[in-house]
Amino acid sequence: MAVIPLLVFVLFVVALIDIILRTGDQIRHLPKLAWVFIVILLPLIGSILWFAVGREYYGMRSRPSRAEYRHAARPQPPAAAAPRPSSTEEQLAALEREIADDRIRRLEAELRQRKGGAEGA
């Protein structure tokens, strides 16, 4: 007589352990926390639902997981980005060149403004 409740309890414990040990990309349809609540509130039905629709089985994927959708939606960095300087000295030199170039651009713009104001007078 106590075999069925024992089987339900074992299924409940195995489902909870399986949910907890899985990463977010191995879980389908709901977040991990939602699956934990479903299995705790409805031990038999929740456990069956978890193994039937919530768990990601390898090699049986019919559609992309939520993590794959999120990864595809992220903007990809440009492939031809300039390589970053490796040493601190190179980084500082690149930063100083950038600051100098910016200062030159500002001074040129200011010079053009002065020339434009002097010609209008």
7-20 exposure pattern, b = at least 16 Cβ within 10 A, e = fewer:
eeeebbeebbebbe
pLDDT per residue as tens digits for the range 36-68: 999 999 999 999 999 999 888 775 555 565 666
Residues 99-116, mean pLDDT to the nearest whole number: 90
26-54 exposure pattern, b = at least 16 Cβ within 10 A, e = fewer:
bbbebeeeebbebbeeebbebbebbeeeb
Q: Pick the residue with more confidence: 117 or 47?
A: 47
Return the pLDDT at 14. 94
Q: Pick the residue with more confidence: 17 or 26?
A: 17
Residues 81-85, mean pLDDT to the nearest whole number: 59
- Decide if pLDDT at 94 tops 60: yes
Tell me the C-alpha distance between 52 and 12, whole Å.
14
Residues 70-87, mean pLDDT to the nearest whole number: 63
